[in-house]
Structures are given as structure tokens and as C-alpha cells.
A and B are shown apart, each in its own frame.
Chain A
Amino acid sequence: MSLYRLENIVHFYGGRPVLSVDRWDIRQGAITGLYGPNGSGKSTLLKLLGFVDTPTLGAIHFQGRRAETYSRRIRDRVALMPQESHLLKRSVYKNIAYGLRIRKDKAKEAEKIRLAMSLVGLDADQFADRPWYALSGGEARRVSMAARLVLNPSVLLLDEPTTSVDAASAKMMKQAATEAHRKWGASLVISSHDLQWLQDICHDIVYMFNGMILGEGGKTFIFGPWEKTGTRRAARRLADGQVFKTENAPENPAGATAAIDPEDLSIHTSAEVVPPGKPPLKGLITRLVLEKHADRISVSVSVGDTEFILYLDPETISRHGYQPGMPVLIAYNPGNVEWYSASAY
């Protein structure tokens, strides 16, 4: 049985459609990642999964039953940490205790709060009595996380948990999320711009763009702005200055998103062996991960801030001695790029 099943979901904000999901299942006990650019609908989707908003159209089934927003059955199981760390105007202790108190869960409150604070690296003696306004952004985010962890939710939804926080806080948030899954088997849905982290911990990653789920799995997405360079041609300058060129661009590619299938990517150690017609980009191997259910290895190659993903068999990896940190060339097929329009609605 799925944890969630979304059917024919359409959601509007101010009369404007912002999310459209025909059908999507989330597995019980899994860590699911949501990846996509700003405005792609990740936060909206998480609010619907957290039953904070009700979809304008369509149905959400939770553990096999159609879910109602204010149902107690759901509210006690699901905890959403929104993107903005809004703390209640009270002490850190009372902020974390809020969820327990509205559930009338009074047993061992102080002990539970101390444990939740330790999970996010906050010293209870130092922070418990602090008022909400005496915290840094990273500390406020960690308090917000502790307020969810203390509830031991069976579903934890995290919206950009590591955005706008210092490196130490981001590390604590990541560890805390993993702990929630490991310690009490929480199902996690995490939206993040940190694709590498998602790839490290998620069982499934879903790519979102313009309010739609583009698909699951290892496509490489290159988001705009694109520059039109000729008929059906467009180019995107990547963060390190290299240019990704395509030859099958739509009429107006500016805000569109390009998706590249792993099958259309190849990896090479020198320019001499790059097949003709496939332009190469210089990159760095960042990760090699053995796929859980397939006899293949997922190779991530970083070009600027874009992560290209392709799959190789273990024998090829070992023959070429590919390893993280190794500079390589990644070649692609410029005429076989899948496009997602900026104006899907």
C-alpha cells in the first residue's frame, strides 16, 4: 500500500494554476526527494502532502484512505517543516512543546524535548529558555526541525531544510533527517536544491518543473535562461563558463527546461575518443553509486553547478579507473534533448 496516492490534483493560487499532478504514489518507509528550480511547485506539493492546504481539484489518499485536511488521524502522523522557519512568540522550549501539548502528550515532555534538541545539535541548557527573537537563522531552523522531530511523526515533510542556514546547521539538519528515518522508520519527503544530498539519501527522486512532476530517476535537467542562437538552436552558459548547446530547441526556449536522458551521455578521458557530433564538456566525477536494484553504477559528473548523471557497468568503471575527483569529458547529443515549456498551462 502506498503512503500517499495523488490523483488528478490541480491546485490554484489566486486563480492561477500552480500544480498539476495526474497520478503519483509515494512509498511507505522510503525517503523521497523533490528536486526542481524555484517556483516549480515543490513547496505547494509539500503543503498538500502535509494537509496544510487542500487541493483545488483531485484527491489525496493517505495510507489507502481519502484524506481530509483537519482529520485527527492524519494530523497526528504527519509533520511538515515549511521553508520559512516561523517560530511562535514563546521560548524555544515552548516552541518545541507546542505540538506535544496540542496532542495532550504530557508524558516525559522535558525528556523528549531535550532529545529532540540534541538531534539537531542544540544544547538544552543553553537554548531551552531563549525567546524566539534571540536566535540566529540557523538556530531558528534547527528549533523548527526539533519541533517536528519531538512528535516522532511517521511522515516527515521537509521543505528546503538546508536553505539559508550556515554549514554547521545544514549538516545537523541532514543528520537529523537521516536519524528520523533510521530511528523510528519515518517516511521522508524532502525538497532541496542540494541534488547531491538527495542522491545520497533518497530512495526515489522526483523532478519538478512548472508545477508538474517531470519524472523519477536519473535525467539531467538544465534550467533556463536559454539564449536562442539560431533556428532550433539554443545555448545555456553554465556556471563555470562552458556552454551547453542544443539543436532541437523550441521556438521560444528562454525559460524552458532541457532534460537529457542518461542514454544520450557518454564519458571520456580525452578529447580524441569523443565520438563526432557529440560536443564535450569538461567536468569532474563527483560520485559513483551502486544502484540498489540494478547491476550498474550511477556516475555523477559536475560541470559548473550542473550535475550530469549517466550509468555505467562496473566493468567499464574499473577498466577506465573512474573515481570521484577525476577530471573527465562528458559528451552529449545536442539534437536529442527533451524540452519542458515554461508555459505548460
Chain B
Amino acid sequence: MDFIFHGLTEAFRLLVTGDAETFSAVAATLTVSSYSMAASLIIGIPLGFALGYLRFPGKHYMRLVVDTGLSLPTVFIGLLVYAFVSHRGPLGDMGLLFTLPGIAVGQTILALPIVIALSATAIESLESDLRTTLLSLGAGRYQLVLSTLWEARHAILAAALTAYGRVMTEVGISMMVGGNIKWDTRTITTAIALETNKGKFALGIALGLVLLMIAFAVNAGVSFLRRK
């Protein structure tokens, strides 16, 4: 028990004194998760809207594919991205291997099915009278789309939160594509894995606490937005 208690006190010391290594991992995590969330929301919300709102041949199969994507293991995504961006891979010239943008690509692949599937469900679960209401008040095509998304905003926000939670906590992609390079691509989760292996619990616990605080801050922000 002592080593856990010692780890906790040491963790607070690292956080309070602004330990550079700890904050380097925090900065890497925030940067990479911001990239991947921005990309997955920009791509995923319109696709989720289309999947939930429109009727087209093959929609059912499309939905099946997206839902399957919800179960994608992070190590498999890591493997795929690694294969594509490694020097021998088709995107090797882009220099994404062992970089934060490289990790962001993998995390976008992880978050995208979540955003698409949950946004589609959010749109599908809107009352069927909404379209009639919007049109009956004079909405044109463009306003119909924007207002429908706005009406589903709470559920879409929940989709984004779920995706963010997954992106923040994944290890496989960051480890395989990022390479866990100290001061560069080492994220909170890869640092925790490494430090725990080395038996250094303090840094691991400190980073774990930061992860929880980030999650709390994001949820508090979303909760505030929901009341708006």
C-alpha cells in the first residue's frame, strides 16, 4: 500500500511544481486529441446526418459497416495506420510516422464511426413531425438541415463526448504510430503504460489524475452548454 500512497503524494508534487515531463505528455495528448476530434466532427457530423436523415439504397448495409467500426480495436487501427505511413507504405512520403499528426490520423479513424453512428441515431430519434414543423414555418432546404442538426445538438454533443473519451484514453494507436518518444509523441496514456512498466507509479498516477481532470473539465463544459 505504501508505494501507492507514495505515488499519490509524488503525483501531487509533480503537478504542483509543473514537472516538465508530465506537462509535455499532457500537451501532446491535448494537441493530438484536438486534431482528431476536429477532423472526426467535421467529417462525421455531416455523414451522420446523411445516414440518419436520408433514404438511399444500401443504407442498411452502410449502417452495419459504421456500427462495426464502433468495435475497431485500437491496436488494429494502429497497425493499419503504421502500415500506410511507414516508409514502405503508400503514404510513407508524407512523413507521418512517429509524429502527432500521425497519431491524430489513427485517432480520427477511431472516433469517426462513433461520431457517425451516434449522430445518425440522434437524427433518427428526432420526432418525425420536426420536418413538417420546420417546413411549415417557412424553412428552405439549407435551413432545414441546419435546424435539424440544432434540434439534435444535445445528442450530437453526447456523441462527441463519447468519441472524445475514447480518443483520450486509447493507448494502441499512440504507442504504435507515435512511438512513445519522450518530449515529442509521448501522450498521457503511453506515458502511464511506460512508467508503470518501469515501476514508477508517481508519474503514472499524476498523469492519470490529469486525464480525469481533463475529462471532468470537458464534461462540465458540455453540461454548461446543454443548459444553454
- Show the binding face of A for B, using Cβ within 8 Å: 47, 50-52, 70, 72, 75-76, 79-82, 84, 86-89, 98-99, 102-103, 147-148, 151
Contact = CB atoms under 8 A, between A and B. Distances in A.
Given A86-B129, A88-B147, A89-B151, A148 B140 contact: no
A311 B176 CA distance: 89
A76 B141 CA distance: 14
A147 B136 CA distance: 10
Given A86-B127, A86-B129, A86-B130, A99 B151 contact: no
Given A75-B138, A99-B138, A102-B138, A86 B133 contact: yes
A316 B154 CA distance: 67
A79 B141 contact: no
By secondary structure, the A interface counts as: loop
Nearest to B135: A52
B94 interface: no
B84 to A, nearest CB: 42
B139 interface: yes
25 contacts: A50-B136, A52-B131, A52-B135, A72-B140, A76-B138, A79-B136, A79-B137, A79-B138, A80-B135, A81-B136, A82-B133, A82-B136, A84-B127, A84-B129, A86-B130, A86-B132, A88-B147, A89-B153, A98-B137, A99-B137, A102-B137, A102-B138, A102-B139, A147-B137, A151-B138
Interface string B117-136: 00000000001011111011
Nearest to A72: B140
By secondary structure, the B interface counts as: helix
A84 B128 CA distance: 10
B9 interface: no
A309 to B, nearest CB: 32
Nearest to B228: A90
Given A70-B141, A82-B129, A102-B143, A88 B151 contact: yes
Interface string B93-130: 00000000000000000000000000000000001011
Contacts of B151: 88-89
A47 B135 CA distance: 10
Contacts of A50: 135-136
B141 A80 contact: no
A174 B141 CA distance: 32
A187 to B, nearest CB: 16
B138 A88 contact: no
